[in-house]
Structure formats: C-alpha cells, structure tokens
Structure 1
C-alpha cells in the first residue's frame, strides 16, 4: 500500500481503543460505566469487564420442495475481557479477545459411498492480546512514556481442502485437506517503547520510533509451506521467524456517537519495517459499532481491515470454487491484498 494513501487515511478516519478506569468501590461511577461504552479516567483504581457475543443462523428442510435449497447452520461468538488500572501518574491497560465462527452447509454425507458426515467449516478465527503501560511526564501533562505489547494469532487449527476450498477443523482425506495454520502458526508479536498522547479520556495517539515486530510460524511443516510471510526460499530452506525493526503508530478512539445509544470503538495500528520496504505500511484496523438494546445487551457490528506487506492472503474470486482463486492443482493462490472482515453479533457486556 502507498505511504501517501495510508497517511491520508490517518487524517480521515477515527481510530484505536484507549483504556481508562474507575475506582472499584465507587458504586456511582460503576453505574455510569455500565451505561456508557467510553470509560472516563477521572478516578483511580482497577476496573474490569468483559463481553460475550453470539451469532447464530439456521435453516432446515425435511423433504424439501424442488428449488428450496439445502440445510444451513452457522454459529459464532466473540469473547472479550479487559482489566485497566490508573493510579496517580501511571496507567496499565490490558485486553483479550477471541472471535470464532463455524458453519455447516448441507447435511448427510459429503459424497456418495462415504461415511464422512458433512463437517463444519471455519468462518473466522482470531485471537488478540494487548497490553500498554504508561507513566505521565508530569502530573499536568497529557504525554506519557509508554510501553506497548500486542499479540495476534488464532485459536484452532485450519485444514484447507483442494476439492471444495473449505477451511475445516480436522483433516478429511476425501476432501484432500492439509494443515494450513494453527495457534502460533502464524502469530504476530509487536513490542515498542514510545510516547502516548492522551488529550482526552477517549482519545490516544501512541508513537514508537523504534519497535520490534516478530512474525512467528512455530511448526516446521507449516513454515515449510511458505504461505504466512516467514522467510522462505523452498520447502527445505526457510525460517520460522521474521524479525523486524520499525516504527509504530497507534491511534485510538472509544466513545459514544449517540449518548447511551450508539458507541464506537476503534484501533488503528500502522507499522513501517525499516529493514524491508519501509514505504509499504502494515495496517491493522479494528472497529466496533455497538447499538444498545437494553442495559448490557447490544447489537455489535465488527469491521476489521488488515494488510501486511510480508504476509500473503487468499485472493477472493466470486467465480471460483469456495470463492477463492486456485491453480489447476487446486492449491490456493495467494498475494498481497487488503483483507476485510465483517461480523454482526448480539452481545452482552458486563463491567465489574
């Protein structure tokens, strides 16, 4: 992606999630926290909370009419947890999230003369951990010395099929599946030291001029595939880790667009690898629009955008099997592309 385009996007869009907290034994403050998505850092102490979201879709037939279609069942969920501390001149914010969804199309066995039942396919699988510690330059200053850590991977294994292009949770010989990914394969770790500017409790701008980024593919069999961005020359000549040094910019916003009705949380991370094509900026942009229904119950729309100049992604093709481009042998065709994910969840949030 062009540096000029990405810098322009920075000024156009809101972004990044900032963290704040309130005193745990302050009943009035906690009640305010439950009613608002943005937590103002006006008191001290720990505040913790989490959310559980579900996405379920189902369609079933018994002796269907011609042209009716086929059975469909899908379910997914998102689990999130945060623990934030603010004391005097320092703060420590931590968050964990897991987003997983599965679907089954059709019923019965996968083909004639087979005992293998129609399996579930993966729709989304994303595991994130973030932590940031900051110390104010002075009691009156909005600038903080800060250390930031983030981790991105997945939770379950993925077996990719050459027959129908599906991503399955287990190996299915009849579908010619092969293991393509699992936890820590790949995983991205970023660690940086810099300055965090917090002009208001809802905004954060973090800049680390020198930060470390590691792309990890721990399993040799998966690393040998050369599909996750690890250094690779051939199935016998590869490395499990790509170590990078670069600059990191994070911009974040967390607040209400409509008081006590619609909230918006967003986090934008932009990373430039000084060692390889620094003009091509890696992007990790996470957005959540939440429409409050009743107390802690809300409808959430998640939209994530991802681009890594060293990571190849599957290329979408509406005319291909499974919607993904493949070569004549059925292997997935990959390339450098922007990856966009959208999900809608019915979510319950609890703060304690």
Structure 2
C-alpha cells in the first residue's frame, strides 16, 4: 500500500496552518503558566487537563410524501476527547482519550452504527536536547459495540469489543518544535492484535490465525500529531500513524489517519467534519472477492452542540 497521498495531505494541512497567525497558542503551551494563589504564593502548573464533547442529532419523518423517502430516519453522532498533559523539568507525560459513536436508524435499513472508535494514547518523554525527547509510547485502539458490514444488503458480523483491538508499545525519539506539533519515530515497536470473539477468530480475520485470539507483530512505527487554531472559530486536529511489520510484508505499511475540523458557530453550537483513513494489509473484508485489502474511508459531517471543559 502506498501511503504517499495521505502523508502528503497531512503535510499540506501542516504547511497551510503554520503560515497562519503564529500567536495562537495550543493547550500544551499553557502548561508553563503560573497560577497566582495569593500575593505571597505562586505555583508552577505541572498538569493541564480538559476535554471536548460534541453531539449531533438529525431526525426526519414522511407521511404520504409523493417524492419518496424513508418514513422515519434518525441519526445521532457523538465525540468525546479527554486530555491530560504533564510537564516538569525534563519530564513530560501526554495522555489523550478519544471516543466516538454514531447511530443510524431508518425505516428501510433498520438500526446500525455508523461510527465507533475507542482510542487511548499515552506518551512519556525525557528531554535530551532542545525539541527532542527520548520517549515511550502506548496506544490502545478498539470499538465498543458489535459491528456489521452489508455487502449486497446482507448483514455480516465483522467486529465487537476487543475484536479487533490493537495494543502498541514503542520506544523511540519524539521531536517537538512547538506546542502544536510532535513527531514520534521508533525502529523497535511491538504491536498485538486481539480478536476475542470466537466466531471472528475462527475465520482468521485481522491477521490472527484461525482459532487463535491474538497475534504479535514487531516493526517500525511513526506518529505525527498536530493541533492548530487556524483562527478564532476554526480548529484542526490531526494524527497520522504508520507501522511496518518486519516479520511479514514490511513494504506494505499500515496506516491510520484521523482528521477533525471544527467550526465554532456560537458558544455551544459548532459544525464538525471528521475524516478517517485506515489501511491494514491484514484486513481483507472489503475487496471485490473479500481476499484483498482496501483503503477504509470514513467521513462524517454534522452540526450540533459542542462543549469544552
């Protein structure tokens, strides 16, 4: 799989955003500020915590509608991001949790999910030079609810909690030229693929041998993270992960990329666009004959409530 196009997209986003107002500071930049307790006592902030939650809802009903359409439709999408950043002396510890879930129900299609992602990332760093850290990274990614694909309108069970799940542990160096961007790279990374469900395991899906519930991979890993307030109303948040398995087809690089654009419309109202790209050489559910991998694309656009805390 050639990953040049998604990587170029990510770089273009970064180039465009860096050219904007450089005075906008990210969340991590505030971790060095001091809180004034009283006139005689100040303390350096070592933790910065917060989050964001958005909820989008759409509903429609038709009765004797000549133009046609579903009699009833309901769509709900939600997104939760929690963060906790630590910085003191040479030590830093960044933690983020992302959870998104979408639900769709129509008269003709019935009920099904259209989004489901649970993603926890933790990264510890020790400064060795300006902008450079020795770092250890841990990542867990899965979903919560049972998922299905619908080839030829036939419902086929394809996923569940911990089926699959990806656990990644990596040691490397982290480059942080500023509070908005970081680039982590490692030549020594272990990744475990878990398929807990017996029926999915029996099919040998997601790179796990038939009948087994896990597989271990060892390879190289790179991760780029970027957060930017383009202006007072528009924010971009992106992440690109690349993994090459030394043990099997190292030239077929696995890709995970997530992009979130948020446009603030009012104090509690915002428009969001989320686009995710995934390529996994071991996921062979979507080809014409279900024997070849394919680039997975998810795009969700919504307008609804958004709250920061």
What range is the shorter-chain TM-score in? Answer: 0.7 to 0.9
The normalised TM-score by structure 2 is 0.83
- TM-score by structure 1 length? 0.74
Structure 2 residue aligned with 1:154: 143
Aligned 8 A contact 1:14 1:266 in 2: no
Q: Which structure would you say has the larger RCO, counting Cα contacts within 8 Å and 6 or more residues apart?
A: 1
Q: Please state whether the residue corresponding to 1:228 is helix, strand or coil.
A: helix
Please show how residues 37-116 of structure 1 align to structure 2 within 5 Å.
44-62=45-63, 64-71=64-71, 72-106=73-107
Partner of 1:335: 292
Could you list the per-position Cα deviations for residues 64-96 of structure 1 after superposition, in whole angstroms to 9, with x for gaps in the alignment? 133422222221211221111111211111111
2:171 is matched with which residue? 193
More strand per residue: 1 or 2?
Answer: 2
- Among 131, 134, 158, the alignment partner of 1:142 is 131
Q: Who is 2:187 aligned against?
A: 209
Distance (whole Å) between structure 2 residues aligned to residue 133 and residue 61 of structure 1: 54
Secondary structure of the structure 2 residue equivalent to 1:294: coil
The answer for unaligned runs of 5 or more in structure 2 is: 16-25, 37-43
Q: Is the 8 A contact 1:134 1:196 kept in 2?
A: yes
Q: Distance in 2 between matches of 1:150 and 1:119?
A: 34
Kindly report structure 1 stretches of 4+ aligned residues shifted beyond 4 Å.
Answer: 3-13, 23-28, 159-163
Deviation, structure 1 residue 271:
0.8
Q: 1:1-352 residue pairs with structure 2 within 5 A?
A: 1-2=1-2, 12=12, 14=14, 20=28, 22-23=30-31, 44-62=45-63, 64-71=64-71, 72-106=73-107, 119-138=110-129, 141-159=130-148, 164-166=153-155, 179-232=157-210, 238-257=211-230, 259-295=231-267, 297-315=269-287, 333=290, 335-345=292-302, 346-351=304-309
Map of 2:22 onto structure 1? none
Kindly tell me the number of residue pairs found equivalent between the two proteins. Answer: 290
Shift of 1:12: 4.8
Cα 1:10/1:95, change in 2 over 3 Å: closer
Per-residue deviation, residues 189-225 of structure 1 (Å, max 9, x unmatched): 1110110010111111111111011111012222112
Runs of at least 5 residues in structure 1 that lack an aligned partner in the other structure: 29-42, 108-117, 167-177, 233-237, 316-324, 328-332
